Amino acid sequence: MPKQQLSLRMIKDVIRLKWHANLSHEQVAATLKISKGVVAKYVGLASAAGLDWATIQDWSEQQLATALQPRSATALPVVVPDWGRIHRELDRKGVTLMLLWQEYVAAHPEGRTWRYTQFCEHYKAFAATLKRSMRQHRRAGEKMFVDYAGSTVPLSDGARAQVFVSAMAASSCVFACATPAQRLDDWIEGLVRALHFYGGVPQLVVPDNATAVIACADRYEPRANDSVQDFARYYGTSVLPARPRSPRDKATAESSVQVIGRWVLARLRHHRFDTVAQVDAAIAELLPSVNQRPFQKLPGSRASVFAELDAPALMPLPAQPYELARFKTVKVHIDYHVEVDGHRYSVPHALVQQTLEARLTRHGVELLLRGQRVAAHARSERRGGFTTVEAHMPAAHRAHLQWTPQRLIEWGQQIGLSCGELVTRLLQTYKHPEHGYRSCLGLLSLSRSYGRERLEAACERALALGTVRYRHVRDLLANNRDLVAQGPGPEWTSPAHANVRGPDYYQ
């Protein structure tokens, strides 16, 4: 049975009948139709407050209520937490509402505080007043959302500059830059610039399902393309595309795109730009004002919250920015070289006929076998050329590589002056001296079959005939023409003929 509640007027009647009429508790109860316990309660309160009928008979009901019901612990105002700070603290790793409630109670030992259930209900009511994207709890340094703004910036030549936007999850600190298009290299450039703008690497990068970035936009097992995965490996992060047709997965990105559209692109609507670089410079100039602009319902700004929450939790950047890499499948030819854009690069000769993966950057070529690098070269634009590492050659080929033009000439000079001269002229007939190595070695090897003297004589005869071919020298030796003494031939005299005019004609 609930306790009997009395009006303040009846409480005043209890005190009047008890102390002015001198009635007993039982009589007062019978007169007012209440229980003796209620009479005893209010008489006791009046005695404890030092009141009598003469004192209170002219009091108002409010004065009597104040005197009989002094301020108790339950009547004290509740200490209201700073809900904005509570919301920000929840973004820190490992922080829970239970921990924050315990700190809240410990900070106000003398004040009236809410119990944990009430604390949670009031926080949820506060969170409901925030924007939808702000209600999603993101851990500090956990995610970076990226996307392209729907709005573009017109250029004087009729083209339009695209605007890349990124935002950190916990602080909503935004970055934006202009790119010529939304191709793969534009996405990678924006991602690299964003990471170096923030000065660190988050655990996850969450892009949209753009075809330039995502190879498979599956709802349950999405997969980024090889170049984007290579970017993620370089920075030690992961790329997790948002689910198709699920804007809540990237609500921070959607909100940041809207912020950039309102506070940056809208301010540039009357400007005229000739190049993408000019647009990029204008965006960079306005970006600090966006991040330093105070929040409306939360303490601080994007910049201050980033410095407090996200920046300490980010992973360090590599020493050098990432360079865009493309991948190509290549096969090792029988000469232990692979062909990339018309140029040939060597790999270890044991990999002949193997299929490799070529990682191509602007300045380098890496060749991978099942993910392991087996060769690396500087990128060459010379079509038809070769880039060969000596260690990749078989032993017999390395021995051949030790031959140089000067060594061949010196070997020929050891046989004789004519042989050395013929070797020199033979090497000079080729654009690349290496192409004449085999001819020179064949020429010099004739000394083993015919001897040095005969080879020297054959070289002398070949030079006299105006030829430096190996096969011509070989034929001279095979036909023993080198053994025929060379004498001065008879003086040639032009025969008389009617068509010969004679020296007098030209005077």
Domain membership of residue 453 (yes or no) is: yes
Same domain membership, residue 408 and residue 387:
no
Please give the torsion angle defined by the CA atoms of residues 128, 133, 134 and 139, in that order, rounded to the nearest 10 degrees.
Answer: 130
The strand pair at 355-360 and 326-331 is best described as antiparallel
Which pLDDT band holds residue 490 (cuts at 50, 70, 90)?
low
Mean pLDDT of 291-300: 82
Domain membership of residue 28 (yes or no) is: yes
Domain membership of residue 423 (yes or no) is: yes
68-112 confidence digits (pLDDT tens): 665 444 456 788 888 888 887 787 766 788 888 888 888 887 778
Can you give the pLDDT at residue 487? 58
Burial 332-341 (b: 16+ CB within 10 A, else e): beeebbbebe
Same domain membership, residue 108 and residue 56:
no
Question: Which CATH number goes with the domain that contains 249?
Answer: 3.30.420.10
Same domain membership, residue 188 and residue 287:
yes
Same domain membership, residue 289 and residue 150:
yes
Same domain membership, residue 295 and residue 177:
yes
Structural domain ending residue among the three candidates 360, 375, 393: 393
Radius of gyration of the chain (CA): 48
Same domain membership, residue 228 and residue 358:
no
Q: Are 4 and 35 in contact (CB under 8 A)?
A: yes
Structural domain ending residue among the three candidates 364, 393, 422: 393
Domain membership of residue 503 (yes or no) is: no
Structural domain ending residue among the three candidates 85, 104, 128: 128
Can you give the pLDDT at residue 16? 77
Alpha helices in 392-487 (DSSP H): 395-401, 405-415, 417-428, 437-450, 452-465, 470-478
Domain membership of residue 506 (yes or no) is: no
Q: What gap in Å lies between CA 347 and CA 453, rounded to an integer?
A: 44
Same domain membership, residue 147 and residue 284:
yes
Can you give the pLDDT at residue 117? 86
Same domain membership, residue 258 and residue 157:
yes
Question: Does residue 138 carry a pLDDT above 70?
Answer: no
Same domain membership, residue 361 and residue 257:
no
Same domain membership, residue 345 and residue 255:
no
Domain membership of residue 318 (yes or no) is: no
Same domain membership, residue 62 and residue 102:
no
Mean pLDDT of 403-432: 83
Residue 169 carries which side chain, given as an amino acid letter? A
Number of domains in the chain: 5
Which pLDDT band holds residue 132 (cuts at 50, 70, 90)?
very low
Same domain membership, residue 284 and residue 182:
yes
225-284 confidence digits (pLDDT tens): 788 888 888 899 988 887 665 555 567 778 888 888 888 888 888 889 999 999 999 999
Domain membership of residue 409 (yes or no) is: yes
Question: Does residue 41 carry a pLDDT above 90?
Answer: no
Segments forming the whole domain that contains residue 39: 8-70
Please give the torsion angle defined by the CA atoms of residues 448, 450, 452 and 458, in that order, rounded to the nearest 10 degrees.
Answer: -130
Can you give the pLDDT at residue 55? 74
Cα separations in angstroms, 461 against 303, 410, 421, 435: 87, 20, 12, 24
